[in-house]
Amino acid sequence: MTITSSHLGSTDSWTDARLLYALEEVVEQELNRHLKVAKDWMPHEYVPFSDARNFPGFFEDGEAWEKGQSPVTDIGRIALVVNLLTEDNLPSYHHEIASLFGRDGAWGTWVHRWTAEEGRHGIVMRDYLLASRAVDPDELERFRMVHMSEGFESDNRHSMLHSVAYVAFQELATRISHRNTGHQSGDPVCDRMLARIATDENLHMVFYRNLLKAAFELAPDLTMQSVRDVVVNFRMPGHGMPGFERAAAQMAIGEVYNLRIHHDDVLQPVLRHLKVLEIDGLGPEGLKAQEELGFYMGGLDAEASKFDERLAARKARMAARGA
């Protein structure tokens, strides 16, 4: 099955300003749809405050943090810190998208609504981690200060279209990371909290995915090139945080987020839903981008298979040692 795209203007005729204007009606429709299906929720209802104790400092009864005070697993602790530090950079993310999408009209309303919803995630995660003593609070705060002090600049800040393509994948990646962290956390309370956050992230993905679909209808060649660029160069927004590479490697081994998950659960679902590799009627640059995207996905699948083999071998070795 193929999809034939209508060319509304040549590649050279589309600018960020024109696309912003052309997509405004779609943004309004998607915003209204989102507001109908999104459910308000209270972060404090997901936090086990009865487990909380004072920390040392100004309180005489303060109790120092120890690893054994929480049932959260080692991989859950690592992933929770990465996920929270990512959420902590919300002020920078807001600045990035507000600069690209604007603060007026439907675009601006969405920017502020998205920011408000994302703010809940950082609130509930931090309250949970401190109340349950799942992580070292001093180390968490030091990491937060370093990460936020360095600021954040999006790899796609040069282009509104690249940014829309990026967040369509990134919101799903964040949903998957939160959901898998909950599954691996060893704490049902944590799992329930992250499932609630993941629901929000999925709705955000749907918003951007539908917007990307509209962009394909308007400017198929440019959108295909943007998707190709984003997929090939994809990085999670928290890549600059302290110790990210080591934490990412541990999360890969712990099956929170790795190449197989990235290929099967993040990239493929969006590409398949939009039928990106089946779009017909593209110009030379769009066709080239589509072919390169297909080759890249094939290569990524092969790399993911190699990772699967190494992970299976590691599990076998660990099982043998345990026996």
Packing angle of the helix pair 160-184, 16-37 (nearest 10 deg): 30
Spatial distance between the Cα atoms of 147 and 222, rounded to a whole number of angstroms: 33
Residue 201 assigned as binding residue: yes
pLDDT of residue 158: 87
Q: Does the pLDDT at position 175 exceed 60?
A: yes
Which tens digit of pLDDT belongs to each residue from 88-133? 999 989 988 998 898 999 999 999 999 999 999 999 999 999 999 9
Which tens digit of pLDDT belongs to each residue from 279-307? 999 999 999 999 999 999 999 999 999 99
**Domains of the chain and CATH, by start:** 16-47+65-318 (1.10.620.20)
Q: Are 297 and 237 in contact (CB under 8 A)?
A: no
pLDDT of residue 213: 97
Residue 118 assigned as binding residue: yes
Q: Does the pLDDT at position 5 exceed 50?
A: no
Q: How confident is residue 6, by pLDDT bands cut at 50, 70 and 90?
A: very low
Residue 204 assigned as binding residue: yes
Spatial distance between the Cα atoms of 252 and 261, rounded to a whole number of angstroms: 9
Q: Does the pLDDT at position 10 exceed 60?
A: no
Residue 7 assigned as binding residue: no
pLDDT of residue 26: 96
Q: Does the pLDDT at position 308 exceed 50?
A: yes
Q: Does the pLDDT at position 246 exceed 70?
A: yes
pLDDT of residue 295: 97
Task: Provide the β-strand partners of residue 277.
Answer: none
The C-alpha angle 84, 87, 93, rounded to 5 degrees, equals: 160
- pLDDT above 90 coverage of the chain, percent: 78
Q: How confident is residue 12, by pLDDT bands cut at 50, 70 and 90?
A: low
Q: Does the pLDDT at position 263 exceed 60?
A: yes
Q: How confident is residue 79, by pLDDT bands cut at 50, 70 and 90?
A: very high
